[in-house]
Structure 1
């Protein structure tokens, strides 16, 4: 970075939207904050179009910005590898408890390192090649991306972490026995990586137990949105990092007009969650009960449901009275319930429409933050282990309910309908709504999370303190001899 030339930043992330969305949002904010930045975006091929859209949008408003340079990482994505060879761990689908938590800690490494040795090496070498080619002033790596963390530590480059997750995930007390459990299942891939590249495997657990001395970790939350914690100095709470959203009517005029007809219960269990027919029918019964009670008790107010539903492949609805159409038929006919496998409009746009009375979601970080930013009460149906944290946050902050306390990880129509009605029309509902709006106002006062992240990262580009200096326990520099020249070129 010399003279009038802007900084060069490389964003490095997995392509799954739950993780990539914070990078897409931050890339927009970086270019908006400093149009001289040369921004590179490295991920797997499926995200190319989304990156191009961000680039086009920012250039439409600030023509002098440079296009984002896309770099395709070669190899299997995390989700592809998990589908092909690593079924979702059973411990992630079971209710939390001491023994299951121990199992989940062991199983988590399957998610972070879902690759065989050769697959891991292919992705690692692809990332190393991109880092060498770009020669960025700063690399911003997904905190959940093992291959990216490994490459950055191995090469000794200057990097920061960006995470869609909470403060708690990085401020937890150190547990040596937990670290051992995390690493054990990945030993074969770890040994293969070492033999063929000389690199030491670095997983997200190293951000807790083996962290670089000066490494900054930017998180998509605020202290007020998390559990009470002592925040380590290297953790930077930015606030919810969300992509800029377009108004619903700008994307889908008909949907915008429909939402404006009444108060909507928005059901979206995330991009990964697929329901069996039986679970979908149970949820339909919960919605039916809720709508029937609201019709009687809601003082003539119109309540309606927008449900994004993904069924398990090859699991069709039964040809009987117990299918979704039969359960919700009258409400569907009256256009009070709309069900779709895919909704083109972004969740943030729907939630920010001003017409959403309650967000029903699976407890993902993005779903939680999107509802927080919109000031919308939440009912959480946790689908796997880490989702229970967000359900607990919702209840701790008084902005909603856990909808499956007794039936988790499934749900019952009776329990879920009671949770929905508690949020919508009980004596508690006004307080829940007020607290949700209060947190949205707080987020507005603190500033846009993506803008905060962009400012921190741009400042980091100007920071000359090498991130691997001092008591660096993570960097593999001393072991590999890899370093940077004075010009910044990796040698």
Structure 2
């Protein structure tokens, strides 16, 4: 009986949510544009960065902090972070001082709690295993079911600890502007509760703003996140697209946050875990999206700045590892780097090794392959490649001695094989080289779709995603390397977009916005 009552209530809630969202989307929420929030004026030319440690999100913050040191030395930077990020912030500070001796070193402040990825794993969402899903309806189920934890995975006590650390930093430092990570929810709440001016700095592109598109185009024109559906969306995909959005909205509507909200409110947080406040129109939102290579939406809220790829490299490759740079200069080179979080199972290692062998057999390229193992297994997967290793046409490394952003800028790097992460995508985009993308979850499918839509890359192993085959990997790479009409056109378009991206580096544009905010306080 109880179950019979719950089902229609859940359906009613879903229909009501869809209706309310549809109404707001049809009007673009423009009534919000005139709504301003009070702000406390902070110390002039003082900036506080608050970010997670995972490089997928923090890279844009590190790159922008470097640009502030280099271009705006009068701005004093404070950085609130988890311990894991400390070495990278120290490195940014060091290289920023080298770039401009007038710059002030970054002041480091630690947040005393577990970082985002650790918290995510405690919730059963592990980027190395459970998060890996296929595209489409079935693949999106896990992501939709765990959307709450993706947005904010911390236990309520840890959430409170981070909030209090951030609130103390804001009160002590008195920054003119706080630069926020969109998935560091406690820091967002601490900043909003303190009525401080802030800017959200995001590695992702326009997916956040799909809801503002006229005529509910998020339902029938743009692929829903996690689906991997092609763009433009074929009409035959529209029912499945709507169903995917409906399931996500249902999971949001039925999200169980009442107990955590009550606890956090009792501790003084004004409006905890209110994900509707994720995007406020009174505060700048800076994205590394580049109009020429991102989801082609029609409307952006007026506070959103799309500055293009925000890429950081401490120094050119030859200054970081002269021997590796020399090796790259000897032949066209394919870089295989699937991001900082990804680890290879033995099955995936075998598939990649097989794909590499097929490509090396048929071309004159050389390959730099970064591989981190998931679990313990032997090196049998690489046995068929040892001849190429001996010839020095293949280098297999567990870590890279050069920043990936510097590697893709090397003249002889002709293709980037990556997982579809926002930073990998924009690094290759800025460098002007084509992509071979092996997406594994959620928004990674989006970047694989963009690469094919704009003719600058290939979604490898698409029929078997997220599983790989040697043949699928080789086929994608050979398309990119081919000297026929299609391959030449792909490389030419990648070069053209790279020239646009490099004309005004996104990190400099983001730093300019933040410096202006720090100088004016508004």
TM-score, with structure 1 as normaliser: 0.85
Alpha-carbon spacing, 1:22–1:57, altered in 2? closer, same or farther (3 Å): same
Corresponding residue of 1:258: 327
Structure 2 residue corresponding to 1:305, chosen from 345, 351, 367: 367
Corresponding residue of 2:489: 431
Corresponding residue of 1:461: 518
Secondary structure of the structure 1 residue equivalent to 2:468: coil
Structure 1 residue corresponding to 2:336, chosen from 267, 271, 290: 267
Secondary structure of the structure 1 residue equivalent to 2:350: helix
Corresponding residue of 2:235: none
Superposed CA offset, 1:303-332 (max 9, x none): 111000011022x027xxxx2232212211
Corresponding residue of 1:214: 282
Alpha-carbon spacing, 1:381–1:176, altered in 2? closer, same or farther (3 Å): closer
Cα shift at 1:203:
6.1
Query: Does the aligned pair in 2 maintain the 1:395–1:401 contact within 8 Å?
Result: yes
Counterpart-to-counterpart distance in 1, 2:211 and 2:140? 14
Corresponding residue of 1:40: 78
Cα shift at 1:190:
2.9
* Within-5 A mapping of 1:28-427: 28-88=66-126, 92-98=131-137, 100-101=139-140, 103-173=142-212, 178=248, 181-182=251-252, 184-202=255-273, 206-207=277-278, 211-230=279-298, 231-294=300-363, 302-314=364-376, 316-317=377-378, 323-425=380-482, 427=484
Query: Does the aligned pair in 2 maintain the 1:108–1:182 contact within 8 Å?
Result: yes
Secondary structure of the structure 1 residue equivalent to 2:146: helix
Corresponding residue of 2:502: 444
Alpha-carbon spacing, 1:250–1:182, altered in 2? closer, same or farther (3 Å): same
Alpha-carbon spacing, 1:268–1:137, altered in 2? closer, same or farther (3 Å): same
Cα shift at 1:178:
4.4
Alpha-carbon spacing, 1:185–1:346, altered in 2? closer, same or farther (3 Å): farther
Where structure 1 has 5 or more consecutive residues not aligned to the other structure, the ranges are 295-301, 466-491
Cα shift at 1:62:
2.6
Secondary structure of the structure 1 residue equivalent to 2:436: strand
Query: Does the aligned pair in 2 maintain the 1:92–1:384 contact within 8 Å?
Result: yes
Cα shift at 1:370:
0.6
Cα shift at 1:180:
5.8
Cα shift at 1:182:
3.2
Cα shift at 1:347:
0.3
Counterpart-to-counterpart distance in 1, 2:305 and 2:459? 28
Cα shift at 1:29:
1.3
Kindly report the root-mean-square deviation, in angstroms, between the aligned alpha carbons of the 2 structures.
Answer: 2.2
Where structure 2 has 5 or more consecutive residues not aligned to the other structure, the ranges are 1-42, 213-217, 219-244
Please identify which structure carries the higher helix content: 2
Cα shift at 1:88:
2.5
Alpha-carbon spacing, 1:178–1:410, altered in 2? closer, same or farther (3 Å): closer
Superposed CA offset, 1:105-135 (max 9, x none): 3312212222211111111111111111111
Query: Does the aligned pair in 2 maintain the 1:14–1:77 contact within 8 Å?
Result: yes
Alpha-carbon spacing, 1:96–1:261, altered in 2? closer, same or farther (3 Å): same
Alpha-carbon spacing, 1:220–1:413, altered in 2? closer, same or farther (3 Å): same
Counterpart-to-counterpart distance in 1, 2:302 and 2:246? 21
Secondary structure of the structure 1 residue equivalent to 2:260: helix
Superposed CA offset, 1:195-232 (max 9, x none): 2234322466533xxx4231110001211120211222
Count residues in correspondence.
445
Alpha-carbon spacing, 1:132–1:6, altered in 2? closer, same or farther (3 Å): closer
Query: Does the aligned pair in 1 maintain the 2:44–2:176 contact within 8 Å?
Result: no
